[in-house]
Structure 1
């Protein structure tokens, strides 16, 4: 049985939402005095300071009303209201307050909440405590949607951990590979020249999911009727079956990506790559190159003219492919092998080479497939699913996305379609215009300059770290010690190599320490232990940056660069 939401008047003459299911009613606010109820709730939160506070349940808005007048509001960083019930609406006056104070307030209905959107808040307020509060009357509701809200919040926390781990794992590669790609990027067609070039055409996006093998014959029969875009891991399967795709795409910086999916392959079609893509892929490619600047890559533009960032950073090559296809102007997109789930326990299609990272993937979550049945998936695949859905929500109505995966995850906004009803219409041949690229500067000279600046930063960081190590060893920090600590940090924080290169690829670490410094007001009275905790965090930050500098300088790829 479904629930209903109605309204009644409280004893204090305020409108109160009432939840009802199976004859049981639960008011979402006190029927006596929502105002006093809100004040009692806020009193319990009075000890919270400099927190990112999540409040589950808006109710009739009285909690919001009392919050913005309270000390709790003044002494904390941000408040995120999540309302589980779509029927509960925000007061117009509160909407105006939220719109005028976006740095302090956010309201979102549960249906618009994803683990990725919640992760964005954690990214913004990293280094600050996160406090999750549930409106007192919402606790009484026995409705799955309440648990689902808390589950999405939990998934957002885990998604954040995955994102941070990915940054740490690839930080060095994301800096080195753009340097190694310079010669490739110089001669490549710039992706911005392809905007809307395929207007009105139809594309097939071929991913490497388990259902790919079921559609091999369909791809063979339709290669003349669609522009075929294939992600790197699925390329070998298509070539082994005599299918020559039009485009293959790559974004992964790891050498493992080249060794597993590209090494030994002969493909003369067009390779579309991001500037962080492993350079061995581009260097050994025998066909045309199209390049897209990776977000946060500040190295490539120093070498290559007219290199602009037009596609957002993507968590997977399939998401990158989707963004590229939309940017190129296609009117219809057909997804093949885009399962985003473990079908019969399998991550990849038969014929796709597996590397260690996916050999032991197990079900972590359950989603719904295109038959309305539950299917297991992994946490990273769920992130990709939510990203696909977020992209599709932004598309104009004249772009249609079809999904051929019957047993894969249902992607909201796509239309499930059987092969048999897809029509054959001859595709137009689109010529990609070659762009002459002016060489502005010798890359070897810039590389030498880059490593020189990196060594300068490394020296600066280690000197500041030595000062902190001395204070930590003594175990006593006074206000007199802090001006030098702050001065050192300011000098390092403004170093262009740190800001534009290193921290662009380990964003969470910089945001965390920056937030902690902003919260630390030297004009107030602090105990030695407070100072000690701050400089201990800062010392960890310096150690990370120093280690990254050292690893880049000593990396064999840098030493052997030609």
Structure 2
């Protein structure tokens, strides 16, 4: 009998929450007898009464704990207008529940909206909660956790608040650069197909010492030392620092670009900057990769759903995550190459002596940077034991770098920025000491260029054709979406009136609208493309979705559909011509590559 419980539960889990079955399949088999349920079979009235006091206006309830599902079933019955997001920290206990009880009805309940199991799925849960919640979160814990683990519950709540804050910042950042990033993702597809990825060079330079160079004022004092160090270490320039390096005759082994803004044309204006080996991320400004004459490698970021869709990649196959600063990208590139030690140069993260950049960094007007320095509202401890002025943007970068250092415990970090902020996890050492320390190490003058040339193997023409077909199919499908939206608008215009005069007809209309919207939103390309080009609009619609779905009063539901579905459809319609143009250009760029490739083959 037990097996059939497990089978029926697994069937539902596989359909609705495949991440949970994947986790359960990896658990060792021998521990089913260890965990005991504390949840009583009879209804826990005292606990439910306490819960009632904390249910506010929000439609989202985060439940900490699943046990054998009895309390979850009670909540679903008592709160039919809410969505439950349930997290069970104990993987073995959850597996015991699905092995011993038939939970298929519970697991299939439409208002059990999300389920995560175990520590590794907590952030996944946070992401879903952040996507759907509007007001404050209703946070409920099963009695077992209330009595045993109050500290842990407080910690989880704090973790969620931090995650949610970052989520909102990220959404607004995405929104600010929405069109630039989407264009860069799409225009880079051709270059990505014709260059090796950073993942292809994994640990190819194992044991090297890497200097990651940023643009802070401290760089000025260490340029001469970097010249002397070049034969002994790999030098990676992060973003605009390449201007200062080439101005002083230092050629980096690799230049890294992540920023998607056209200001990069100024950074890479001189031909020398364009002759250095380049790592471009898929978010970076596409014209730099176009103009770069030297060896190139690419990185598709874990946050770039557009490229992942067109290449059929998953996040797990990618190495580099987005960070607050291009130095973070350069550090991850160094880690991927197998660096044992990373030295941070020009990483001031503040305004030492009221300076913004090292000399030679000229892509921003002086009045812009001077204004930032003068208005800097904060102070931060520097490596000399005094304080520098800084601002919120640098504080975020500092936190991001320190988190990255913590996440790479096998790499030794050293901060050589002699006037910069203290960086946790990267003790300060001046460049002259570093030079003495590393004088016995050697690195080939063109180590990374040689590596790229070695790895620059034949292009996979099947993959090229596959990406081209997907681009054309998506571009054509955009005009189908335009027609489908027009059909929904037609229905919608009558919906509110009918909800008040012909309720049965309105009910049928609503179902048709839901189905038609489902056909649009469930296309495989829809989420990656539209969450990239209109992140805030999609996020706002996601937040109001639980309110629409759980509303049972017909006129109110029709008003909500009319208001919110109409708005998202209008927003999508506005973006379609912009996207069609981007897709056409992306295909044109790819065809140009294919043609030039064919000419080269003919010459050979």
Distance in 1 separating the partners of 2:184 and 2:250: 30
Decide which of 140, 146, 171 is 1:164's aligned counterpart.
171
Distance in 1 separating the partners of 2:114 and 2:360: 50
Decide which of 41, 50, 56 is 1:47's aligned counterpart.
56
Check whether the contact 1:365–1:376 (CA below 8 A) recurs between aligned residues: yes
Distance in 1 separating the partners of 2:125 and 2:223: 38
Decide which of 251, 255, 260 is 2:258's aligned counterpart.
251
Call closer, same or farther: CA 1:299–1:48 in 2, change over 3 Å.
Answer: closer
* Equivalence for 1:336: 345
Q: Is it true that 1:387 corresponds to 2:400 in the alignment?
A: yes
What SS class does the counterpart of residue 272 from structure 1 fall into?
A: strand
Check whether the contact 2:496–2:558 (CA below 8 A) recurs between aligned residues: no
Range 284-293 or range 344-353, more displaced = 344-353
Decide which of 211, 223, 231 is 1:216's aligned counterpart.
223
Call closer, same or farther: CA 1:194–1:100 in 2, change over 3 Å.
Answer: farther
* Equivalence for 2:571: 544
Call closer, same or farther: CA 1:534–1:211 in 2, change over 3 Å.
Answer: farther
What SS class does the counterpart of residue 131 from structure 1 fall into?
A: coil
Distance in 1 separating the partners of 2:496 and 2:537: 20
Structure 2 gap segments, 5+ residues each: 1-45, 65-70, 99-112, 141-155, 593-604
Distance in 2 separating the partners of 1:543 and 1:511: 15
What SS class does the counterpart of residue 240 from structure 2 fall into?
A: helix
Which aligned pairs between 1:108-507 and structure 2 lie closer than 5 A?
Answer: 121=126, 124-131=129-136, 159-256=166-263, 258-267=264-273, 268-295=275-302, 296-299=304-307, 302=310, 309-355=318-364, 359=369, 360-361=371-372, 362-363=375-376, 367-371=380-384, 375-397=388-410, 399-422=411-434, 423=437, 424-429=439-444, 430=447, 431-432=450-451, 433=454, 434-440=456-462, 441=464, 447-465=471-489, 467-468=491-492, 471=495, 479-504=507-532, 506=534
What SS class does the counterpart of residue 218 from structure 2 fall into?
A: helix
What SS class does the counterpart of residue 488 from structure 2 fall into?
A: helix
Distance in 1 separating the partners of 2:74 and 2:187: 55
Distance in 2 separating the partners of 1:321 and 1:100: 46
What SS class does the counterpart of residue 416 from structure 1 fall into?
A: coil
Call closer, same or farther: CA 1:494–1:38 in 2, change over 3 Å.
Answer: closer
User: How many pairs were matched up?
Assistant: 487
CA deviations over 1:112-152 (Å, ceiling 9, x no partner): xxxxx9999476423423427999xxxxxxxxxxxxx9999
CA deviations over 1:436-483 (Å, ceiling 9, x no partner): 213334577765444222332333334434544665799969544421
Q: Give 1:352 deviation, angstroms.
A: 1.3
- Choose between structure 1 and 2: higher helix proportion: 2
Distance in 2 separating the partners of 1:214 and 1:151: 42
What SS class does the counterpart of residue 54 from structure 2 fall into?
A: coil
Call closer, same or farther: CA 1:280–1:134 in 2, change over 3 Å.
Answer: closer
Call closer, same or farther: CA 1:195–1:95 in 2, change over 3 Å.
Answer: same
Call closer, same or farther: CA 1:552–1:129 in 2, change over 3 Å.
Answer: closer
Q: Give 1:165 deviation, angstroms.
A: 2.6
Q: Give 1:260 deviation, angstroms.
A: 2.5
Distance in 2 separating the partners of 1:366 and 1:470: 60
Distance in 2 separating the partners of 1:94 and 1:495: 33
- Choose between structure 1 and 2: higher strand proportion: 1
Distance in 2 separating the partners of 1:261 and 1:252: 11
Call closer, same or farther: CA 1:493–1:461 in 2, change over 3 Å.
Answer: same
